[in-house]
A and B are shown apart, each in its own frame.
Chain A
Amino acid sequence: MKQKYLDIFAREAEEHLQILRKGLLALEKEDFSAERIHELLRSGHTLKGSARLVGLEELGQVAHLIEDIFKSLETGERSINPELIDVLFLGTDAVEALIAQAHSAGDISVNVEQVLTALETGAMPESKSVSNAQVQESSDHIELETVRTSVVKLDQLVNLMGEILISQRLFNERGRNLRGLMGRIETFMGGLRKAENYCTVKEILDNFSQLSAELDRDTVQLEYLVRELHGSAMELRMLPLSAITEDLEVMARSLAREQGKNLQLDIIGKEVELDRMMLESLKPMLLHMLRNAVDHGLESPEERQRAKKTPVGRIELTARYELGLVRLVMRDDGNGIDPVIIRQIAQERGVISAEEARLMSDEEAVYLILRPGFSTREFITDVSGRGVGMDVVKSNIDRVKGNLVIHSTPGQGTEMILHLPLTMAVINSLAIDCEGETYAVPLHYVTEILRLREEDIFTQGAREVVRVRDRMLPLFDLATLLGIPHRASANRLQRITVMVLNFREQQVAFTISESYGTQELVAKNLGKQLKRVRFFSGATILADGTPALIMSVPDLFTASIQGSGTQLRKDFASHREKNKKGNLLVVDDSITTRTMEKNILETHGFSVTLAVSGEDALEKLRSGKFDLMISDVEMPGISGFELTRRVRSMENTQDLPVIIVSSLASDEHRRTGIEVGAQAYIVKGKFDQGALLETVDALIG
């Protein structure tokens, strides 16, 4: 623990040392003012205070004397002279050396006595070196083992690695193609008559096989290496949580002290590693959440006593890995968030209407603190406020594709659970198809994928909902929300795939075209030209090198609040209706056949129009709209073949499916039937209703 405070102190001291040295240099150039002296005095004073806090007594003494000198300069008791400036420089060197000493655990000795004397007398000692340490050098030494590089370069590295992965997959593909070709050669070989030829081809083929096997082996090896390399490149961007926790602790402690509150802050899981960019986004979030917890959550010791709580308030921040994500929990035993007050404030600030406030559950109400416009300067003290509120936290979470859950018990405390991907660079995602395009959905938003049947869909109010494990979830069509046109597809309703997404404890179901399964994908931004695109947070590159857009789940949820739901029940109904009305034209000169066919088809839900001849049929085709025609061949006037030929040549009927039903059973007749453009030929002899219905269903079902 002590080391941690020392680190914090060292960083603070470094700042003050810089101020002091800069100030002294200015004084040396006789550029001084009362403000400047006062600034230096304050630095000396802060150093003194902080040094004593971390138990560095000698350093405190040195700082104290430095402060005294500036005080006497400020009051005019003393005037500045070059020697005094030297003495002050000596003092700052001593401070630096003492910090190094504290770090090195005794390897560095500092001649404090000499420095103190010099500061007291204002006269430089004989020996000008304050310590045996080469302070500068010791800090350089650490630098040697690390290399600083820009994130841009790392990104480039990761990009190129991703491209290599793609080419490597193409190698796999080529290998497969090669094996396919070899199969063809083998088949060809079987037909070779001359033994000599056979042997030659066989030999070539054997060489081929060997080469192909070697290629496969090399490709596997390459794949393994490239994956390793890709992983290493990704890891370059990871840093432990401890990189940001110190600042959090300093802030929370000083804030608690200022407000006269007793705080015990425990941070568990500092070793958890996150993407550097992720940490950068996380820091302001955590700072804000922590500030809120200390400022609004934690009570004063008196209040705590009245509430029969321990005088010391506890805030615990825990980080751990969970299913490829990082789970951060910030828990305090403070006052909690009162949903009644929150509702009232939100209503006063116009964040929600009175009606909305009334309908909102207590669990929902606590999330109001995340809405823009909720926290304002008046409400939040200068500490947490700064003109922005928890909506900063929200927008940051959305950006890093995180999920925040808030639980609060008034009087007992608040728990905020934050799920974050480990990195912003790689996301575990579900690849889905929506109307022919592939999209990626960050996996931690996905609850499940289901197939939907008509009976799973219900109507609640004007909206459609779907029953998933006894819960009714609102149902939306993804393509409609995104504004993508639907492709015409006859069997859309036969296989409805639904993706259930969760966001802040809400679940919503979205219909999609297909789900392709999960993949680890490298997330990229859409470039400087597409700065912010509604519904998409970025893009990734699929195995074949094609880009795919990454869905912004928060955007989808926002849109679903205003968007209109699906109309699947209506679609199902009209689909049935359409099926029922499947309009058929039956052409036959025999009344028996006509009537029989009509009865069979009508009992199976088709609507049937009859024609007594080819000419009659053409007339009816001109005036009505049909989905299929069933025709006899031998009729007075034009034959069924001629009729079919004419149907094919007319613009409005050229795609009309035609079934020929005839007693002519020869292959010659069948061929003619197909040549003139009929889709099916049924021989009357073996005519049974099953064959006819099957054929009709196959053609227009």
Chain B
Amino acid sequence: MANDQHSGNEIKAVLDEMRREYWRGLEEVDHNAGKELVDYLAFVIGNENFAVPTSIAREVLRLPRQIPVPNMPEHILGVFNLRGEIIAITDLRPIFGLPGRGIPDQGKLIVMAAAGIETAIVVERVVGTRNIILDDVEPFPEGLGGIPRDAVTGQLTEDGKLTVLLDMHQLLSHTEFVIEQQ
């Protein structure tokens, strides 16, 4: 009997929870309606989370055969062949002051086109694509690491985890990304 009572309560609790969930879901849909959503591609560099709008990401590649280019700054790791075109591999870690150098074993390349150039950004891991509600984006606090302030759209905090949204057009406009040696 006691047992039945218990399971009866439990069922009721579960149903209540489901009901609450349902209403919350409805509210959330309403809450999000009319909000601007942007598709972002999230990835990890130097153990930090970053994301860029999917519109500038051309493709994600496993590490291809690449060759080093002598006399390059630390953030240019080399070049590779992308269907007959030569593309440079850019490492954002030295620019952002993040740990780790060279090409990580399980890393990936994200080919991005912005600021008039096409480059492959080396990342440790691709998290995936996701919708970001622009209203949830918070301003980026001043002086975080070596990340140029103008290259950040904002940041997103979820479950205590920080994701930095990058503005690749601004970032790649910085002169150090285009190599013009004498």
Binding site for B on A (CB under 8 A): 158-160, 162-163, 437-438, 482-484, 524-536, 538-539, 541, 544-549
| Contact between B119 and A529, CB atoms less than 8 A apart | yes
A482 touches B84 (CB 8 A): no
By the criterion CB–CB under 8 Å, are B117 and A527 in contact?
yes
A466 to chain B minimum Cβ distance, whole angstroms, is 24
Given contacts A163-B83, A541-B84, contact A529 B68 (CB under 8 A): no
Neighbour of B71 across the interface among A437, A438, A528, A535, CB < 8 A? A535
Tell me the minimal C-beta distance from A155 to chain B in angstroms: 9
B34 at the interface (CB under 8 A from A): no
Establish whether residues A528 and B116, one from each chain, have CB atoms under 8 Å apart when the complex forms: yes
B80 at the interface (CB under 8 A from A): yes
Q: Which residues of B contact A530 (CB under 8 A)?
A: 69, 76, 79, 86, 88, 178-179
How far apart are A600's CB and chain B's nearest CB, in angstroms? Answer: 47
A159 with B83, Cβ < 8 A, contacts A527-B117, A528-B117 known: yes
B177, CB-defined interface residue at 8 Å: yes
Q: Are B71 and A482 in contact (CB under 8 A)?
A: yes
Which B residues, 58 to 108, have Cβ-Cβ distances below 8 Å to chain A? 65-72, 76, 79-81, 83-88, 90
- Residues of A contacting B3 in the complex (Cβ-Cβ under 8 angstroms): none
Residues of the A chain whose Cβ atoms lie less than 8 Å from the Cβ of B116: 528
* Seed contacts A437-B68, A533-B71, A536-B69; 5 additional CB < 8 Å A-B pairs: A159-B85, A529-B87, A529-B178, A534-B71, A534-B181
Question: Nearest chain-B residue to A435 (Cβ)?
Answer: B70
Instruction: Give the docked Cα–Cα distance between A482 and B69 (Å).
Output: 10
Nearest residue, chain A, Cβ from B72? A533
Q: Is B5 at the interface (CB under 8 A from chain A)?
A: no
Most chain A CB atoms below 10 A, which of B80, B81, B90? B81
In Å, the complex CA distance between A534 and B71 comes to 8
Partner of B69, one of A163, A531, A533: A533
Q: How far is the CA of A697 from the CA of B43 in the complex (A)?
A: 54
Q: Which of A528, A532, A534, A546 contacts B118 (CB 8 A)?
A: A528
Tell me what chain A mostly uses at the interface: helix, strand, loop, or mixed: mixed
Q: Are B84 and A526 in contact (CB under 8 A)?
A: no
10 A–B contacts from the bound complex (CB under 8 Å): A163-B83, A484-B70, A526-B86, A527-B117, A528-B117, A529-B178, A531-B180, A535-B70, A546-B81, A547-B81
How far does the Cβ of A198 sit from chain B's closest Cβ, in whole Å?
A: 43
Encode B21-53 as 1/0 by CB contact (under 8 A) with A.
Answer: 000000000000000000000000000000000
Chain B residues contacting A535 (CB-CB under 8 Å) are 70-71
Residues of chain B with a CB closer than 8 A to A533's CB: 69, 71-72, 179, 181
| Contacts known (A532-B179, A535-B71); A524 close to B85, Cβ less than 8 A | yes
**Complex Cα–Cα for A438 and B182 (A):** 23
Instruction: Select from chain B the residue with minimum beta-carbon distance to A161.
Output: B84
A534 to B86, CA, bound (A): 17
Interface members, chain B 130-182 (any A CB < 8 Å): 177-182
CB atoms of B178 and A528 under 8 A apart? yes
Number of A-B pairs whose CB atoms are under 8 Å?
Answer: 91
Expressed in whole angstroms, the Cα–Cα distance for A237 and B45 within the complex equals: 43
Known interface pairs A159-B83, A160-B83, A529-B119. Does A549 touch B67 (Cβ–Cβ under 8 Å)?
Answer: yes
Tell me the minimal C-beta distance from A503 to chain B in angstroms: 18
Give the chain B neighbours of A163 by CB distance below 8 A. Answer: 83-84
- State in angstroms the CA–CA spacing of A694 and B72 once bound together: 46
- List the A residue with the shortest CB-CB distance to B120: A529
Q: How far is the CB of A21 from chain B (nearest CB, A)?
A: 39
B135 to chain A, nearest CB (A): 35
Give the CA-CA distance A158 to B68 in the complex, in Å: 25
Residues of A within 8 A of B80 (CB): 547
Determine which of B67, B83, B177, B181 lies in contact with A548 in the assembled complex, contact meaning CB atoms within 8 Å. Answer: B67
Query: CA separation between A548 and B70, bound complex, in Å?
Result: 12
**Docked-complex contact A545 and B81, CB < 8 angstroms:** yes
**Complex interface: chain B residues within 8 A of A162 (CB):** 84
A397 to B68, CA, bound (A): 27
Known A160-B83, A163-B83, A163-B84; contact A529-B67, beta-carbon cutoff 8 A = no
Distance between A520 CB and nearest chain B CB, rounded to angstroms: 16
Docked complex Cα distance between A544 and B67 (Å): 13
List, in ascending order, chain A residues with CB within 8 A of B67's CB. Answer: 437-438, 546-549
Q: Which 8 interchain pairs have the tightest Cβ spacing?
A: A159-B84, A534-B181, A529-B117, A531-B180, A528-B117, A529-B88, A482-B70, A532-B180
Give complex CA distance A532, B76 in Å. Answer: 14
Q: Which residues of A contact B65 (CB under 8 A)?
A: 544-546
Min CB–CB distance B72 → chain A (angstroms) = 8
Closest Cβ of chain B to A301, distance in Å, is: 46
Q: What residues of B have a CB within 8 angstroms of the CB of A159 in the complex?
A: 83-85
- The 8 Å CB contact of A529, one of B71, B84, B118, B181, is B118
Are A527 and B71 in contact, with the CB atoms below 8 A? Answer: no
Q: Considering the chains assembled together, what is the distance between the CA atoms of A526 and B80 in angstroms?
A: 10
Q: Which of B67, B117, B118, B178 has the most CB of A within 10 A?
A: B67
Q: Which residues in B have their C-beta under 8 angstroms from that of A532?
A: 179-182
CA distance A585 to B124 in the complex (A): 49
A320 to B118, CA, bound (A): 40
Cross-chain contact of B79 among A158, A484, A539 (Cβ < 8 A)? A539
**Which B residues are CB-close (under 8 A) to A527?**
79, 85-88, 117-118
Max count, chain A CB within 10 A of own CB: residue among B70, B117, B180:
B70
How close is A32's CB to chain B, nearest CB, in angstroms?
44
B180 contact set on A, CB distance < 8 A: 531-532
Contacts of A529 in B (CB 8 A): 87-88, 90, 117-119, 177-179
A539 to B86, Cβ gap below 8 A? yes
Minimal beta-carbon separation of B89 from chain A (angstroms): 10
Closest chain B CB from A108 CB (angstroms): 49
Looking at the assembled complex, report how far the CB atom of B95 sits from the nearest CB atom of chain A, in whole angstroms.
14
B118: chain A residues at CB < 8 Å are 527-529
Contact B86 A531 (CB under 8 A): no
Residues of A within 8 A of B90 (CB): 529
Residues of A within 8 A of B117 (CB): 527-529
Residues of chain A within 8 A (CB-CB) of B66 are 547
Of all chain A residues, the one with the shortest Cβ separation from B68 is A437
Tell me which residues across on chain A come within 8 A of B81, comparing CB atoms.
Answer: 541, 545-547
Expressed in whole angstroms, the Cα–Cα distance for A528 and B90 within the complex equals 13
Q: How far is the CB of B174 from chain A (nearest CB, A)?
A: 12
* Bound Cα distance A219, B85 (Å): 25
